[in-house]
Amino acid sequence: MERFTSAHTTRYEALLEKVREDQNLPGLFDMMFSDDRDWKTGHSQQIEYAVRFSSELIEFMWMVFNQLNLVLPEKRNHPYAQGWSLIFTKWAKIDVVREAWIKYRGSYSASFRDFAQSDAVGLPEN
């Protein structure tokens, strides 16, 4: 797990910087750390843009899933993996992330879809 800490942190920080500075994603940064879910209200011009950005969040989830070998349930119990799952669970509540998942989930492996749609993350099954 420790082998990927630096790479994950670097990518995570880049995603946060991008969403924080992007004028087309107002308020999404704060929503990534709250229980708010409805970003689309009031942002009708930027919805498709936000869905495409959300695919980058899903891609990051996939990278962490693969690199930490989270296909194995026992790996999911490691504190490092649990920390990422908590972050991913927050993201999975946001409407544009859920919409991106529905749009792009077919391009991911069945094992990742199972993980993403499980209680560990909470993305929708359909």
* pLDDT at position 126 over 90: no
Query: What mean pLDDT, rounded, does the chain reach?
Result: 94
**What was the pLDDT predicted at 64?**
96
Stretch 42-50: mean pLDDT = 90
pLDDT at 85: 94
Q: What is the mean pLDDT of residues 27-46?
A: 89
Separation of alpha carbons 123 and 110, rounded Å: 14
Residue 36 confidence (pLDDT) above 90:
no
Place 1 in a pLDDT band, splitting at 50, 70 and 90. Answer: low
Cβ atoms within 10 Å of 123's Cβ, excluding its own: 22
Band the pLDDT of 24: cuts 50, 70, 90: very high
Mean pLDDT of 57-83: 94
Beta carbons within 10 angstroms of residue 77's beta carbon: 9
Q: Which of 30, 8, 12, 14 is nearest to 80 (CA)?
A: 8
pLDDT in tens, 73-102: 899 999 999 999 999 999 999 999 999 999
